[in-house]
Structure 1
């Protein structure tokens, strides 16, 4: 005598439901394996129990089969999706490039302004400082502003450059020296330097 037809509805008894789930799950996994071996098919099976436990089978790996599935579904249903995504990424990169160009232009303008300001302040400082003297390699003294050459006089017995003191050194008490230095610094900063 054969088994009767099973009515398909949720099994109310919790223990019977768990036993049925285990048996049928094992049977389903076995059938998936047999299908992949006998028919050389790529099979992926994913089952979650009512408690959230995962059971899976993949003939070549579940994740690889799922990637292939997603690729087939999205490509066959809507071929323009990939094209739109590529256009969106391209537009994003173009926008970023334009922002970087604007930033580059702004930085170039700021750099130019700072350079002009530095040159103007340098010219003011050089005019205020007076002639700048320097010795060249051939022994001549050069005035940085007028470029006039003066021969350097040296004595063969001198190992260091001579020091020349002209005039006298006035003694200034320490308190008044600090005040005098402050006044001189303020005059220098304001551009009204009087020695």
Structure 2
């Protein structure tokens, strides 16, 4: 007789849920024990029941020893990898920002009229348009400020 595949969803009936938990917990503990014996692996398993009871298995002398070993392993490996990734990211960001800074410096020099020897006619026309737009905005702002000052002076008189 072949069993059907069980749909993985919460079992609504409390009694059935408790029976299934108990059977599967025992099966999981058995598998953990078998893995530790057959493969000489250090296995630690912690299970909390829905009612809050603790079930644990440790192939080492204590579960705490396995947990401490896990903490040391993850601290050494994860932190080293994270630090190396962070260092590489900072290096990449630095290179990118240096290129951006260089491009902005070149753009400023061109706007100031320096280093124009290598510019094409199209680039020079683009610079001219940018300067005309900037001059227009500066004159507009200057006019607004002068109008505000004139209106304040009229109010005071």
TM-score (normalizing by structure 1) = 0.40
Richer in helix (by share): 2
TM-score (normalizing by structure 2) = 0.50
Q: Which of structures 1 and 2 has the larger relative contact order (alpha carbons within 8 angstroms, sep 6+)? A: 2
